[in-house]
Structure 1
Amino acid sequence: MDYIAEQEQELEVLESIYPDELEVLNATYPDIKFSVTLKLELNDTAIHDNDLLMSLSKVHLLEVTFQFPETYPDMAPIIHINPLEQSLDDNSESDEDEDEQEDEYDEHGNIVLSKLENLADNISFKDYIEELTSIVRDQIDSDMLLGMQMCFALLATIKENAENWFLEQLDELDKQHTLEIERREAQEQKKFNGTPVTKESYLEWRATFRKEMHLDERDKLRRLEAHNGKLTGKQMFEQGVAGTIDDTDDAEIESMTKELDDVDI
Structure 2
Amino acid sequence: MTDYAEEQINELEAIESIYEDSFTVLSEKPTSFTITVNSDAGKDHEMVEATLKFTYVEKYPDEPPLWEIDSQENLEDSDLEDILTFLQQQAEENLGMVMIFTLVSAVQEKLNEIVDQKKNRREEETERKEREAEEAEKVAFQGTVVTIENFLAWKAKFEAEMFELKRKKQKEIEEKQNKLTGKQLFETDHNLDTSDIQFLEDTGNNVEVDESLFQDIDDLDLDEDDPDFDPLAMGSDED
The TM-score by the shorter chain falls in which range?
Answer: 0.5 to 0.7
In structure 2, the partner of 1:154 is 103
In structure 1, the partner of 2:16 is 15
2:23 counterpart of 1:69: no
Q: Give secondary structure in 2 for the equivalent of 1:134.
A: helix
The answer as to whether partners of 2:48 and 2:115 remain within 8 angstroms in 1 is: no
The percent identity for this pair of structures is 21
1:201–1:188 distance in 2 versus 1, CA, 3 Å: farther
The answer as to whether partners of 1:60 and 1:83 remain within 8 angstroms in 2 is: no
Output aligned runs, 1:1-265, within 5 Å.
1-28=2-29, 31-43=30-42, 53-54=43-44, 56=46, 59-85=47-73, 124-142=75-93, 145-183=94-132, 185-187=134-136, 189-190=138-139, 193=143, 198-209=154-165, 215-220=169-174, 221=176, 228-229=186-187, 230-231=189-190
The Cα of 1:206 is off from its aligned counterpart by 2.3
The Cα of 1:210 is off from its aligned counterpart by 5.4
Q: How many residues align?
A: 179
TM-score, normalization by structure 2:
0.61
The answer as to whether partners of 1:83 and 1:125 remain within 8 angstroms in 2 is: no
Distance 1:124 1:64 in 2: 13
Counterpart code for 2:155: K
Counterpart code for 1:42: A
Larger radius of gyration: 2
**TM-align CA RMSD:** 3.3
Q: Give secondary structure in 2 for the equivalent of 1:138.
A: helix
In structure 1, the partner of 2:226 is none
The answer as to whether partners of 2:53 and 2:67 remain within 8 angstroms in 1 is: yes
The Cα of 1:188 is off from its aligned counterpart by 5.9
The answer as to whether partners of 2:32 and 2:55 remain within 8 angstroms in 1 is: yes
1:147–1:170 distance in 2 versus 1, CA, 3 Å: same
Higher helix share: 2
The Cα of 1:156 is off from its aligned counterpart by 0.5
1:194–1:139 distance in 2 versus 1, CA, 3 Å: closer
Unaligned runs of 5+ in 1: 44-52, 86-122, 233-265
The answer as to whether partners of 1:83 and 1:126 remain within 8 angstroms in 2 is: no
Unaligned runs of 5+ in 2: 192-239
The answer as to whether partners of 2:39 and 2:115 remain within 8 angstroms in 1 is: no
Counterpart code for 2:116: L
After alignment, is 71-80 or 199-208 more displaced?
199-208
Distance 1:194 1:147 in 2: 68
Q: Give secondary structure in 1 for the equivalent of 2:5.
A: helix
Distance 1:79 1:61 in 2: 16
Q: Give secondary structure in 1 for the equivalent of 2:36.
A: strand
Q: State the Cα deviation string for residues 222-260 of structure 1 (Å, max 9, x = none).
A: 79799522436xxxxxxxxxxxxxxxxxxxxxxxxxxxx
The answer as to whether partners of 1:26 and 1:33 remain within 8 angstroms in 2 is: yes
Distance 2:145 2:91 in 1: 63
The answer as to whether partners of 1:82 and 1:129 remain within 8 angstroms in 2 is: no
The Cα of 1:152 is off from its aligned counterpart by 0.7
